[in-house]
Structure 1
Amino acid sequence: MPKRAKELSAIEVRRLGRGVHNVGGVAGLLMQVSENGAQSWLLRVRVGHKRREIGLGPFPEVTLAKARERATETKTDIRKGIDPVESRKAARSALIASQRQGLTFIEAFEKYAAKKLPELRTERYREQWRATVEKYAFPELGGMLVQEIGREDILRILHPIWETRTETATKVRQRIEKTLDYAKAAGHRTGDNPAAWRGNLELALSAPNKIAPKQNYPALQLDDATRWWFDLKAQKGMGAAALAFQALTASRTGAVRFAKWDEIDLDARLWTIQPGRIASKIPPTGKPHRVPLTEAMIELLDTLPRLGDLLFTAPRGGSLSDATLGKSMRAIHEADIERGGIGYLDAKTKERAVPHGLRSCFRVWVTERTNFDGDMAEIALAHMVGSKVRQAYDRSDMIEKRRSMMDAWAGFLVGNDQKIGGVVRFL
């Protein structure tokens, strides 16, 4: 029979020196004294086939009597088949999980936004991305715990704006869904995402493309293109020059507004827009977009003053605003009306044509008036062509063939099938 340890009193326990000491009363109950004199309780016991040393707390916060009580309770649990160490780990994990789930929607959104916003290309888009959630989601969901947000909460936000502001409502839904996905991945919520569309909200809301079909930009009509071009030549200023360059290149307005001289290679006759460049619409992981420079484009560039890094600069420096090109487009339209014309209107909607609609005019010209390959036109417009597999293996951008196409397009604008001819001065 093993020798039983002497039962020490509280005073004797307090006087123990450095080391590990039996205190008696419960087999395996020990007092551990560190080098700096700190005292704590241990219970040395066998749990199944494992030898455990289980901490019972510091002394004197846990008194001698309390330590013996805890030791007795722990050994009783062990006899019932409970491993105190594993039980404590499980309780700690449950506590951490509970604390994680105690995250509000605003807190979850801020954490997700910190990761998402750097991916967005412009400050303006970053502001819009955040503003939609702050305006529509925060008032309803902001203070709610992410774990408690349900389908009805999402519908309460979307119903009032789904049919009147469908595009905005769709973006709000998507951003709520991503925020809750982030919260779930980080351990802050469990279960299905109440903002998911498929098999969920699609059963309660009309399909966005059915109630708000995407509208095309009002485009310049083919039969008006030559007249429009000569009206454009009558305009002066940097905005008119930028609009002419956009027309000749069939580029997006943002690509032209933020075009830089270091993107222009006059020797190779190329304009190269790098991935991730502001307003390029090319993701950082995408491929550079090359634009072949025709004689007409180069002649226009030769008329521009070098006022900084940008091809087209505002009067006070910096980039032109989107409104500047729109103003030039509107001035051309109004000038035609003053002469007794009807202006420059979209064929279907009868709305005034806008700068972006020049791209549509170019695409219709390729289809209806030329034999140029449609894929080549799509590449010129910086659109993705074909399946992802084809995109991965087809590395050609048909640059020289596109140069011929853009030459022909310039010729069409002046009513000449061969070339544009002559320098156009806007400044």
Structure 2
Amino acid sequence: MGKKLTATFVRNIQAPGSYSDMGGMGLRLRVKPDGRKNWIQRLTVRGKVRETGLGSFPVVTLAMARDKAIENKRMVIDGLDPIEERRKTRARLSFADAVDRYIDVKVRELRNEKHQKQWRSTLDTYAVPIIGALPVDSLTVHDVLRVLEPIWTTKTETATRLRQRMEAVLSWASVSGFRTDANPAIWKGNLSELLPKPGKVASKRHHAAVRVADMPEFWQALLARDGMSVMALRFLCLTLARSGEVRGMVWNEVDLDNRLWVIPAERMKAGREHRVPLPDTAVSLLKAVPRVKGCDHVFFSTRNGPLSDMSLSAVMRRIDEKAQETGSKRFLDPRSNRPAVPHGLRSTFRDWAAENGVDHIQAELALAHTVGSEVERAYRRTDMVEQRRGLLEKWVGFVGG
């Protein structure tokens, strides 16, 4: 008797042929001459041998294929024809419905409400009006191009994210049994042959930063203003955290005695816990922040919730508007000449660090960037928090003039 397939075998096999899983479910891996791999299942339904596709590898893994094969076998035992049942279901599921069902399942993985809204908004704005009513099983590369081509060269970053999100929805549809053909939104070997590379049609727009030499003057402009959003922006300057990390900060993340702020993994872009050593100026700022009973957020809005995602940007915009009104100094990006924004302050620090010979790893860790390969990170078992404490104190010394 043959053996069951293994994940390693499925991943590595290149020889064309049909390979049985030998698990009694009729599951087979079919490898085509061009290297593509598809799952099929042979079933005896009401005395007739039927064959049904379960999707392509690697979108559908061995474990997923087995689960689907077992589900089909159970349907046969219950007197149903899995192929007919799937055909009925497919006819009812439109792309718009697939978006709804995918987001219901996957949206919880997104870290904040802003990303959740952006994810849905992109699809609703560009894809659903064009292909939303079409059955998800009928969508082709042509349909995907109808969505992407109008914005591919004019809104390249948005179009790239849209393609990725369409691919994810259609991948879910395949694994869930609503599609059998290859995913038409895949880039490599598919859309890559029909659309220009994103990097060739649009240059990345960097966040506008304060010029390094202007940073002490910008800090004085902040000190001249009051308000919770201003305090949050000052804290961002001192710790180099991202805006969302500062706005979402709660008191139980802060250890004032040990001058440490520990941001949990679920609030970090890289999905890993990040320790921020607090400079003395940052500790003093936190001690000056008023506390409201029943509100856990350090920097809170008038409704005792977190500050909005535009609150810190609004502070910098008002500083620039005031400078234009009075004819005083504006804080513009040295490359683009655009008014600086909160996220650009991290770039200001990175430029300052480079100009002052700061160790590359320390500087990148201060920004909570992923540094080095996976192997390098495994051997580097420290986050250099105490070295970064000294680095931030030097930075704060420079910012304070």
Distance in 1, matches of 2:121 and 2:227, equals: 35
Distance in 1, matches of 2:319 and 2:129, equals: 45
Q: 1:294 to 1:97 in 2, by over 3 A?
A: same
Distance in 1, matches of 2:134 and 2:302, equals: 49
Distance in 1, matches of 2:132 and 2:320, equals: 47
Aligned: 1:404 with 2:376: no
Q: 1:398 to 1:324 in 2, by over 3 A?
A: same
Secondary structure in 2 matching 1:272? strand
Distance in 1, matches of 2:165 and 2:321, equals: 41
1:99 paired residue number? 88
CA apart distance, 1:354: 1.1
CA apart distance, 1:193: 1.4
Aligned: 1:153 with 2:114: no
2:300 paired residue number? 313
**CA displacement 1:345-368 (0-9 Å, x = unmatched):** 100111111111111101100001
Letter in 2 for 1:133: L
Moved more, 204-213 or 358-367: 204-213
Segments of 5+ residues of structure 1 without an aligned counterpart are: 1-82, 416-427
Distance in 2, matches of 1:89 and 1:350, equals: 66
Q: Normalising to structure 1: TM-score of the pair?
A: 0.72
1:303 paired residue number? 288
Identity of aligned pairs, percent? Answer: 43
Letter in 2 for 1:294: P
Aligned: 1:289 with 2:299: no
Q: 1:84 to 1:137 in 2, by over 3 A?
A: closer
Aligned: 1:392 with 2:378: yes
CA apart distance, 1:145: 2.0
Distance in 2, matches of 1:180 and 1:231, equals: 50
Secondary structure in 2 matching 1:159? helix
Moved more, 403-412 or 95-104: 95-104
Aligned: 1:210 with 2:209: no
Aligned: 1:235 with 2:220: no
**CA displacement 1:16-68 (0-9 Å, x = unmatched):** xxxxxxxxxxxxxxxxxxxxxxxxxxxxxxxxxxxxxxxxxxxxxxxxxxxxx
Contact kept, 8 Å, 1:235 with 1:328, in 2: the verdict is no
CA apart distance, 1:312: 1.2
2:344 paired residue number? 357
Superposed, 1:253-272 pairs within 5 Å as 253-272=243-262
2:369 paired residue number? 383
Contact kept, 8 Å, 2:270 with 2:370, in 1: the verdict is no
CA apart distance, 1:178: 1.5
Contact kept, 8 Å, 1:254 with 1:322, in 2: the verdict is yes
Aligned: 1:170 with 2:160: yes
Q: 1:85 to 1:261 in 2, by over 3 A?
A: closer
Segments of 5+ residues of structure 2 without an aligned counterpart are: 1-43, 52-79
Moved more, 113-122 or 242-251: 113-122
CA apart distance, 1:302: 1.6
Contact kept, 8 Å, 1:109 with 1:179, in 2: the verdict is yes
Letter in 2 for 1:254: G
Distance in 1, matches of 2:290 and 2:133, equals: 55
Distance in 2, matches of 1:408 and 1:414, equals: 10
Letter in 2 for 1:209: G
**CA displacement 1:112-163 (0-9 Å, x = unmatched):** 2222111112223212211221222222222222222111111111111111
Contact kept, 8 Å, 2:45 with 2:81, in 1: the verdict is no
Secondary structure in 2 matching 1:236? coil
Distance in 2, matches of 1:371 and 1:124, equals: 37
Contact kept, 8 Å, 1:263 with 1:272, in 2: the verdict is yes
1:37 paired residue number? none
**CA displacement 1:262-288 (0-9 Å, x = unmatched):** 1110122100000113xx4243xxx21
2:10 paired residue number? none
Q: 1:306 to 1:89 in 2, by over 3 A?
A: same
Distance in 1, matches of 2:304 and 2:82, equals: 58
Moved more, 321-330 or 195-204: 321-330
Q: 1:97 to 1:258 in 2, by over 3 A?
A: closer
Superposed, 1:335-346 pairs within 5 Å as 335-337=322-324, 340-346=327-333
2:62 paired residue number? none
CA apart distance, 1:97: 4.1
Given candidates 40, 48, 73, the residue that maps to 1:87 is: 48
Q: 1:322 to 1:134 in 2, by over 3 A?
A: closer
CA apart distance, 1:190: 1.8
Distance in 2, matches of 1:316 and 1:104, equals: 40
CA apart distance, 1:379: 0.8
Secondary structure in 1 matching 2:300? coil
Letter in 1 for 2:300: T
Q: 1:323 to 1:188 in 2, by over 3 A?
A: closer
Distance in 1, matches of 2:156 and 2:179, equals: 28
**CA displacement 1:351-394 (0-9 Å, x = unmatched):** 111111111101100001x2321111111111111112222332
Distance in 1, matches of 2:225 and 2:129, equals: 48
Distance in 2, matches of 1:341 and 1:270, equals: 37
Contact kept, 8 Å, 2:240 with 2:345, in 1: the verdict is yes
